Amino acid sequence: QVRLQQSGPGLVKPSQALSLTCAISGDSVSGISVAWNWIRQSPSRGLEWLGRTYYRSRWYNDYAVGLQSRITINADTSKNQFSLQLNSVTPEDTAVYYCARGYHMDVWGQGTTVTVSS
């Protein structure tokens, strides 16, 4: 059974970086048939896909266009996890953040409520 366990702070100050980690059990972050996503959800934006990382002989990343200058998703094969870093956050980045597996997202993390406030 595949499980995703999210960790990271729930409060981030404006202009600082948001960092979250998603630990994988029951699958491999470097599996050649899966992708690993970050999604967020807020009342104003609904469900918003942020980006993904996947391994196909080498690592690839896709990011939402509007976030490309601020976002980084990395995989850590030694810990079998992947991470999200979102720089220069504003209150508009306040949301519930989820990690999820695959193209049709069959496994999700539990969600992390992140508030951007001073």
Partner 1 sequence: DIVMTQSPDSLAVSLGERATINCKSSQSVLYSSNNKNYLAWFQQKPGQPPKVLIYWASTRESGVPDRFSGSGSGTDFTLTINSLQAEDVAVYYCQQYFTSPLTFGQGTRLEIK
Residue 10 makes contact with partner 1 by CB under 8 A = no
Interface residues for partner 1 in 79-98 (CB under 8 A)? 98
For partner 1, what does the binding mask look like between residues 16 and 55, x meaning CB under 8 A? ---------------------x--------xxxx--x---
> Quick one: 16 or 49, whose CB is closer to partner 1?
49
| Residue 28, SS3 per DSSP | coil
Residue 65 makes contact with partner 1 by CB under 8 A = yes
Residue 62 makes contact with partner 1 by CB under 8 A = yes
